[in-house]
Amino acid sequence: MRMDNTSAADGRPGLCRIVIDTCADLTPEVAATLDVDILGFPYILDGEEFTDDIWSTITPKEFYDKLRAGSKVSTSAVSLGRYIEFFTQCAEEGTPTVYLCFTSALSSSYNSACQAADCVRAEHPDFELYVVDNALPCSCGELLAMEAVRQRAAGLSARQLADWANEAKTYVHGYFTLDGLDALAAGGRIPPAAASLSSKLDIKPELSYDLAGSLSLIGVNRGRKKALKSIVKSFKENYELDPSLPLAIVSSDAEKDADWLEGAVRKEPGCEDLTILRGSVGPTIGAHVGPGMVALIFWGKNRADKISLTDRIANRVRGE
């Protein structure tokens, strides 16, 4: 792992460089084992600017306790200038590079990364640089990155790895619930009136994301336990057992519910000994979901198979 405050050039000729960002919400333990570069998203907490550094300078408990106490937090995209600086370092080092970028549906970073890549390619026309919209929020990006590292070790070239990621991302599922909708309302994701009404009625949503990476509402539940059971139901409907692939359960300081979710998953046939990664939602995503989110993330059925007939036609027209 190399965070973005270090040089991209490390003299690794002939290898494919994999770049991700902190919106993939890697656990510190997983990040330490992966040979990848990690770009940190900026966030502002109580007027002071920070860079998401995978919980190196603040703990999840400290961060979410601040939010519970009323601290104000906001986020911004990685800047065009930062991307140009980083991609230039990669180009000067020369290793073919693949950037698995946070979903363009929830951030302008992908567009900035593409602009930066065009600028760097113009200056370094022989440099291989691929920017992939991972279309995955939160730790869904972690599972994609982990498997990308394995596929690189198996011999995929940079171009092949970019093609693989564009295909593989539709097999990653993520289902989550929130303690409340106030954080989404504050970020403009839903109307404030909807957040207020859901709080009064103890409505807990089950959320996921569509093929573009936009948030989607799966259903609503009266009470937290029903929402957690709904997530398990989605898991049972969409998971395809493969003990070689880990699952992930992440939360924004909701460990008891994460424990319950893990226990429920392990009760399913064949799932008793699966590798389940446990982690905390980072500050960038946490700023938008608030304390109390819990999510289950796994490889499963191809989500693209579920799109409507008319959407399939539109995809063919677009050449997808």
Average pLDDT over residues 224-234: 96
Q: Which of 134-138, 178-182, 223-227 has the lowest mean pLDDT?
A: 178-182
pLDDT of 68 > 80? The answer is yes
Q: Write the DSSP symbol of residue 171.
A: G
| pLDDT at position 199 | 53
pLDDT tens digit string along 91-126? Answer: 999 999 999 999 999 999 999 999 999 999 999 999
| pLDDT at position 8 | 46
Average pLDDT over residues 35-51: 96
Q: Provide the mean pLDDT of the chain.
A: 89
Tokens representing 226 are 């029903």
Average pLDDT over residues 124-132: 97
Whole-structure pTM value: 0.89
Predicted confidence band at 133 (pLDDT cuts at 50, 70, 90)? very high
Cα–Cα dist 233/181, whole Å: 22
Determine what percent of the chain is predicted with pLDDT higher than 70.
Answer: 86
Partners of 296 in beta bridges: 175, 249
Average pLDDT over residues 53-57: 95
Average pLDDT over residues 210-226: 90
Cα–Cα dist 224/202, whole Å: 8
Query: For the chain, what is the largest distance between any 2 Cα atoms, rounded to a whole number of angstroms?
Result: 59
Bigger pLDDT: 99 vs 218: 99
pLDDT tens digit string along 272-286? Answer: 999 999 999 999 999
pLDDT tens digit string along 194-207? Answer: 444 455 446 788 99
Cα–Cα dist 180/249, whole Å: 19
Asked if 41 contacts 52 with a C-beta cutoff of 8 angstroms, the reply is yes
Q: Write the DSSP symbol of residue 50.
A: E
Predicted confidence band at 220 (pLDDT cuts at 50, 70, 90)? confident
Cα–Cα dist 180/47, whole Å: 24
